Amino acid sequence: MSTVPPPIGLLAELTHRCPLKCPYCSNPLELERRSVELDTETWKRVFSEAAALGVLQVHLSGGEPTARRDIVEITRHCAEVGLYSNLITSAVGVDRAKLDALAEAGLDHVQLSVQAADATVADKVAGLAGAHAKKLAFARAVAAIGLPLTVNAVIHRANIHAIPEMIELTLELGARRLEIAHVQYYGWAFKNRAALMPLKDDVLAAMAVVEEARARLKGTLVIDAVTPDYYARFPKACVGGWGRRSLNVTPSGRVLPCHAAETIPHLEFWSVTEHSLADIWNYGPAFQAFRGTEWMPEPCRSCERKEIDWGGCRCQALAFTGDAAATDPACHRSPMHAELLAIAEADARSDADYAYRGYGAPVPA
Amino acid sequence: MIEATAIPKLPRGVRLHHDAARDGWTVLGPERVIETDPIGAEILQRCDGVRTLAAIVDDLAATFSADRAMVEADVVRFLADLAEKRMLELRPAGAPAAGGGASVP
């Protein structure tokens, strides 16, 4: 039996517990509760299997991964099996002692979310007073220890004009990398579109700012920008192509091709509690569903870009067209593209309060 | 350009990794997985934070019986690319080795 090339990255959602309430959270609307979280030994087995399968980098994430009492033990195990470990954290709840312990356990890299350049906006977006100040202190501690730091800045209407200030802040904090991550509209972000979507002109201006800064800061700061594809002509290669480069393990152990895949009906997700990671990657029905190009309808099937963007995003296609196999409406060749653009532009001109991320039904706007 | 007296070293959070599943070498860093060939691995294995660029080039040229000028060009191109990505530190000759990380009080 032939198997597919192994993944490079594994996103481990260790828990959905989090002190923040960001309205664009990439976790699903139905957050998994603590009672269903995998135990320490299971996560260690998953990481061992991941390393054997060929995963090179593991992203310890959540929710807030440090909410887990076993985060140091988990990190140490990743280092022991040779996985490069990246902690994706809000900094809230991580004191210096825990950070020192993580560094000593072999943590390779820290990615810190920063919601805005100033505390008032940042704390409003995160839904937690005092969060921004905690992040700045944490960043300084990471730099003092000598671990590499990436600042992850999710960009949307409330902060898109502050990108220059966010770049300056990132430099001040001693980070080696900055991710300018325009919101991707699934899950919580889809729910909060009217509150988050920026105007197209602001997106174009932001891209120019980033290009200029990237050139000016070459060798000093690496700036990666995930640009929003709803204002583009072609879609992004979502997760590098379905079932090609990465996989996502939820707190209860379900393995997903991407963090929004559970929105797609009729997909069968296997769990690490019942299958090995290798079996899930190679044979899991959810992974097979949109792998490669055989599943593509026209115009994708005949498109010269099909092995560049791999058909874009299934979850976005589902959200806007109702059909997960449809052409991604972000592509200008989709019959729904004009409608996607109109929806985005209407959202950009809307006004809405955040439906903050949390357990239970989202608070209506 | 890299000075011949500069001392290259992989910073904390960047490592050379032998990828058993793919039977090759990779350089792992923050959100970067850079496949490299055995020559790249030979170069990085010599970036021990003690040897200068010149010493590394001398060693490679001797070990592989290769033209020194060509080796130097290849090594500089390879290391400069990593440095631009913040995946390589280049300590100028005479500068003290860093203990921790950035100079943040």
Q: What is the pTM of this model?
A: 0.94
Amino acid A271: pLDDT: 98
Cβ neighbours, 10 Å, residue B58: 15
Residues from chain B contacting residue A179 (CB–CB below 8 Å): 31
Band (A362; pLDDT cuts 50, 70, 90): low
Question: Which 8-state DSSP code applies to residue A291?
Answer: -
Residues from chain B contacting residue A105 (CB–CB below 8 Å): none
Amino acid A365: pLDDT: 46
For residue A188, the SS3 value is: helix
Cα→Cα distances A94→A228, A297, B49, Å: 31, 47, 32
CA A322 to chain centre: 23
Buried b (16+ CB within 10 A) or exposed e, A60-86: bbbbbbbbbeebbebbbbbeeebbbbb
Query: What's the token pair of residue A76?
Result: 């140490």
Residues from chain A contacting residue B86 (CB–CB below 8 Å): 148, 176-177, 219-222
State residue B59 phi and psi, 5-degree precision.
-65, -45
**pLDDT tens by residue, A113-153:** 999 999 999 999 999 999 999 999 999 999 999 999 999 99
A177 near B CB under 8 A: yes
Buried b (16+ CB within 10 A) or exposed e, A215-238: eeeeeebbbbbebbbbbeebbbbb
Nearest CA distance, B23 vs chain A (angstrom): 10
Band (A226; pLDDT cuts 50, 70, 90): confident
Nearest CA distance, A346 vs chain B (angstrom): 34
Q: What average pLDDT does the structure give for chain B?
A: 91
Using CB atoms, pick whichever of A8, A52, A150 lies closest to residue B33: A8
Q: What average pLDDT does the structure give for chain A?
A: 95
Q: B31 vs A174: CB contact, 8 Å cut-off?
A: no
Is it the case that residue A101 has pLDDT exceeding 90? yes
Q: What percent of chain A has pLDDT over 90?
A: 93
Which of the pair, A362 or A285, is modelled with greater confidence? A285
Is it the case that residue B99 has pLDDT exceeding 60? no
Q: Provide the strand spans (E) within A143-257.
A: 149-155, 177-182, 222-226, 246-249, 255-256
Lowest mean pLDDT among A12-16, A183-187, B6-10, B37-41: A183-187
The answer to whether A177 and A151 are in contact (CB under 8 A) is yes
Q: B14 vs A148: CB contact, 8 Å cut-off?
A: yes
Using CB atoms, pick whichever of B11, B15, B84 lies closest to residue A219: B84
Q: B21 vs A6: CB contact, 8 Å cut-off?
A: yes
Q: B101 vs A147: CB contact, 8 Å cut-off?
A: yes
Band (A228; pLDDT cuts 50, 70, 90): confident
Query: Hey, of B15, B16, B28, which one would you mutate to test binding to chain A, going by the most A CBs within 10 A of its CB?
Result: B28
**pLDDT tens by residue, B13-50:** 999 999 999 999 999 999 999 999 999 999 999 999 99
State residue A272 phi and psi, 5-degree precision.
-70, -15
Across chain A, which distance is largest between two alpha carbons, in Å?
A: 57
Residues from chain B contacting residue A140 (CB–CB below 8 Å): 104
Residues from chain B contacting residue A86 (CB–CB below 8 Å): 30-31
Average of per-residue pLDDT across A26-35: 95
Is it the case that residue A227 has pLDDT exceeding 90? no
Amino acid B103: pLDDT: 38
